[in-house]
Amino acid sequence: MAAYDVNGTTVEHDEEGYITNLSEWTKELADVISKAENVDMGEEHWAVVNFLRDYYEEYQIAPAVRVLIKSIKKSMGPEVGNNKYMYELFPYGPAKQACKIAGLPKPTGCV
Amino acid sequence: MSIVKKFLYVNRKAPYGTIYAQEALEVVLIGAAFDQDVSMAFLDDGVFQLTKGQDTKEAGLKNFSPTFRALGDYEVTKLYVEQESLDERGLTLDDLQDIQWEDEDDDYAEKPSIIVVSRAGMADVMADQDVVLSF
C-alpha cells in the first residue's frame, strides 16, 4: 500500500490518497498531502480543513460538497461560502480534495 | 421543470446487528443530493436506531448515530417514528436523540425532525409516497 512520508514516519493511504487510519492525521501530514495535491495552503484553506474536521467529529461523516458550501456560507459568510471561491481554493473539488487533506474519508455520495 | 418524487426509506432493524441501518442512512445521504422529497420511517426494532447515548466501543463498530443529526443539512427533515413500536419496546420520545433542522425560510429557526405517528398514521404516510424503500 502506498504511503505518505512525514519526516520519516509513514502514513498509509488508499489508491486515491485518502489515509486509511484517520487517527494518524497531523497538521504536518496535511502539509504533505496538500503538496502532493498541488494546493498551497493559506488561511482560508485551513479554515475549510478545520471546519471539515469539526463536522466529522460532530456527525461522523464527511459532508457532501453542497452541504459543505452551504455550511461554510453560514459560518464564514458568502464571500468564502460560494462555489466559485471554494473551487479556486480546491480546484479538484472542495469536498474531495479538502477531505483528503483533512485526513477524512471520501465524502459520502462522491464517486 | 424536474419532477420531485416523494421517497420514504423504511427502517425496521436494530442499528448494529446487521449492516442494514448504516447502509440505509448512507443511501439516504446519497439520494438527498438529487433534490427529491426524502423522508425516513422508523418502526419495529428500527426505532432503536434513533436512541441517544449509543456506545459501540465494546462491539468494535462505528457509532453512526450522530450522523442522524446531520440529516437536516441534507434537507431530510421528516423522520417518522411509530408510536406503537416505541411503546412495545418501553421507549418514549425522551429516549431518542434530539434531532433538529434549520428552516432557512424562517430565520434559521431550529425545528424538530422527529414526528411520532400512530400505526394507522404510518400507513397514511406510506400511502402518500411515490417510492418506498425498505431496509
A&B contacts, CB < 8 Å: 34
Q: Which of B68, B75, B73 is nearest to B4 (CA)?
A: B75
Asked if A23 reaches chain B (Cβ–Cβ under 8 Å), the answer is no
* Residue B84 pLDDT > 80: yes
Percentage of chain A modeled with pLDDT above 90: 59
What's the gap between Cα A8 and its chain centre? 22
> Are B30 and A66 inside 8 Å of each other by CB?
no
Q: Locate cell 438529487: which residue?
A: B34
pLDDT on residue B5:
92
Q: Per-residue confidence at A109, pLDDT binned at 50, 70, 90? A: low
Q: How many CB atoms lie within 10 A of CB A40?
A: 9
Whether A110 is in a domain gets the answer: no
The verdict on residue B63 lying in a domain is yes
Name the β-bridge partners of B10.
Answer: B41, B134
Give percent of chain B with pLDDT exceeding 70: 99
CATH number for the domain spanning B83: value is: 3.40.1260.10
What's the number of domains chain A is made of? Answer: 1
In terms of residue numbers, what domain contains B124? Answer: 11-134
pLDDT on residue A38 = 93
CA distance A83 to chain B (A): 16
- Counting the structural domains of chain B, the total is 1
d(CA A80, CA A60): 24
Active site residue A99: no
Considering the domain boundaries, does residue A108 fall inside one? no
Residue B1 lies in a domain: no
Residue A64 included in any domain: yes
- Tell me whether residue A40 is in a domain: yes
Q: In this structure, what CATH number is given to the domain that contains residue A31? A: 1.10.10.370
Whether the predicted pLDDT of A105 surpasses 80: yes
Whether A63 sits inside 8 A of B70 (CB atoms) is yes
Judge whether B3 lies within some domain.
no
Beta carbons of B33 and A109 less than 8 Å apart:
yes
Residue B6 lies in a domain: no
d(CA A26, CA A51): 15
Instruction: Identify which of A64, A71, A59 has the alpha carbon closest to the alpha carbon of residue A95.
Output: A64
Domain that holds residue A11: 3-101
pLDDT tens column, B8-40: 999 999 999 899 999 999 999 988 878 889 999
Lowest average pLDDT, out of A57-66, B72-81, B120-129, goes to A57-66
Q: Phi/psi at B112 (nearest 5 deg)?
A: -70, 140
Q: Does a structural domain hold residue A26? A: yes
Tell me whether residue A109 is in a domain: no
Asked if the structure places residue B49 within a domain, the reply is: yes
The answer to whether residue A67 scores a pLDDT higher than 90 is no
Asked if residue A35 is part of any domain, the answer here is yes
